[in-house]
């Protein structure tokens, strides 16, 4: 067997699935590979996985398909999720014997460290924030979940937290913070390096002559997109050429469409659904402001970090984020964007109007955001720093 360090990555979310967790797992895999490790990725099958995996350049083994991200949590969807995770766990157990990894990297599935301790490898577990709140504070199985959490952390040689907010949550559960390494999310700098100018992007998308507020993400309540829609009637009274564009899929899509109908905003709000990576760049380049006033929901869900804020900054765009969860690590208030009270419609309205009516301020924040990303948040920098810390275990 090769003398290279062997890393087994277990990822419930991995590309081509869209989302911050899958991006995190992908770039960690790239980071291990750049350090000349032998990498094996285990992840459920998703639509488009075959063609994606052919181009990946790393060994990936797909397991039982996961439920579609836009599905509601019906009984059948929950059964499908359980079957997918069971298949992932069973494959991990087989691969740890045949592959004999030095490192087992769990990109999100912390319970696997509790159920499947493995003394011959170092287990590294990643936390993104929401799972700590949903599983350990708002679940009917809170006591059991807390026990699994503590056991998983005890069995882990190292714990990665995607923000200081997540680290503080872990500390609140009694996790030994000397094991915790905070590693922020990053941005694929190359993806945005060839972004078109604002005018070119608007012409391509048919937005010429409009001032654009853009949102991108899974259409969940915690993203706060519905509150931005509610802001639009007042905003367009002062800024008639404003257009709010929302990209993404999720359980809130029907409600958002209904809200647009109820408020008569068809000329001011567009829901464009899921968009390609190329169009992510185009929409980011076209907008004046990126807005995602994220908030903590009653079910415990929260934004663990918010890669999209950095992506917008990468295109020199100022951002508006909720003062909630890990977004306070992603956005520097009054420097790269504005942090708002996510439960206050007036606070969000004021922030949008401030940036749309002060182009010099918006440009300054966007440029400062880009400089910050280039210095500290390129994925190559973030992932290599985390992977080198993990290899210190060997």
Q: Taking the domains of the chain in order of start, what are their residue ranges? A: 6-186+378-391, 190-376
* pLDDT of amino acid 141: 62
Do the domains 190-376 and 6-186+378-391 match in fold? yes
Q: How many CA atoms lie within 13 A of 383 on its CB side?
A: 21
CA distance 265 to 315: 27
Which one, of 201, 260, 220, lies nearest residue 236 by Cα? 260
On whether the pTM is more than 0.95, the answer is no
* pLDDT of amino acid 136: 65
The DSSP symbol for 304 reads S
CB atoms within 10 A of CB 323: 18
* pLDDT of amino acid 64: 85
Helix 198-205 to helix 277-286 angle (10° resolution) is: 120
What is the mean pLDDT, run by run of 10 residues, along the chain of 394 residues?
A: 86 86 93 96 91 92 73 64 86 90 92 80 91 69 83 94 92 91 90 92 96 95 97 98 96 96 97 93 98 88 89 97 94 98 98 98 98 94 96 93
* pLDDT of amino acid 70: 44
| DSSP state string for 181-226 | EE----B-HHHHHTPPPHHHHHHHHT-TT-EEEEEES---GGG-HH
Q: Are 214 and 245 in contact (CB under 8 A)?
A: yes
Q: In what order do the strands lie in the sheet with 6-10?
A: 59-63, 38-44, 6-10, 103-106, 122-127, 158-161, 180-182
Which CATH number applies to 6-186+378-391: 3.40.50.2000, 3.30.1380.10, 2.40.160.10, 3.40.640.10? 3.40.50.2000
Q: Are 124 and 160 in contact (CB under 8 A)?
A: yes
* pLDDT of amino acid 71: 43
CA distance 394 to 374: 30
CATH superfamily assigned to domain 190-376: Glycogen Phosphorylase B; (3.40.50.2000)
């Amino acid at each position: 067997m090769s003398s290279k360090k062997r890393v087994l990555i277990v990822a419930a979310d991995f590309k081509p699935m869209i989302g911050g967790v899958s991006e995190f797992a992908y770039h960690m895999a790239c980071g291990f590979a750049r350090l000349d490790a032998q990498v094996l990725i285990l992840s459920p099958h998703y639509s488009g996985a075959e063609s994606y995996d052919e181009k990946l350049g790393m060994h990936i083994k797909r397991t039982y398909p996961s439920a579609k991200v836009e599905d509601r949590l019906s009984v059948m969807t929950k059964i499908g999720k359980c079957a997918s995770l069971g298949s992932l766990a069973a494959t991990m157990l087989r691969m740890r014997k045949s592959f004999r990894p030095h490192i087992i990297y769990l990109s999100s599935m912390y319970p696997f460290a509790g159920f499947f301790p493995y003394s011959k490898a170092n287990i590294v577990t990643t936390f993104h924030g929401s799972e700590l709140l949903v599983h350990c504070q708002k679940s009917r199985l809170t006591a059991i979940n807390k026990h699994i959490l503590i056991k998983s952390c005890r069995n882990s040689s190292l714990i990665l937290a995607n923000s200081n907010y997540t680290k503080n949550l872990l500390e609140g559960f009694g996790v030994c913070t000397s094991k915790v390494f905070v590693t922020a999310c990053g941005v694929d700098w190359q993806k945005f390096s060839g972004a078109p100018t604002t005018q070119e992007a608007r012409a391509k998308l048919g937005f010429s002559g409009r001032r654009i507020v853009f949102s991108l993400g899974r259409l969940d309540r915690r993203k706060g997109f519905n509150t931005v829609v509610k802001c639009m009637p007042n905003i367009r009274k002062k800024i008639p050429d404003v257009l709010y564009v929302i990209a993404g899929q999720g359980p809130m899509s029907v409600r958002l469409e209904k809200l647009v109908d109820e408020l008569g905003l068809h000329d001011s709000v567009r829901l464009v659904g899921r968009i390609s990576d190329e169009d992510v760049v185009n929409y980011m380049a076209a907008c004046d402001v990126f807005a995602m006033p994220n908030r903590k929901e009653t079910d415990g869900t929260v934004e663990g970090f918010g890669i999209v804020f950095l992506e917008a900054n990468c295109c020199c765009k100022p951002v508006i984020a909720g003062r909630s969860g890990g977004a306070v690590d992603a956005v520097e208030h009054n420097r790269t964007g504005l942090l708002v009270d996510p439960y206050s419609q007036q606070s969000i309205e004021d922030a949008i109007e401030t940036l749309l009516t002060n182009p010099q301020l918006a440009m300054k924040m966007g440029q400062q955001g880009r400089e910050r990303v280039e210095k500290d948040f390129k994925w190559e920098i973030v992932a290599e720093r985390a992977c080198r810390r993990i290899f210190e275990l060997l």
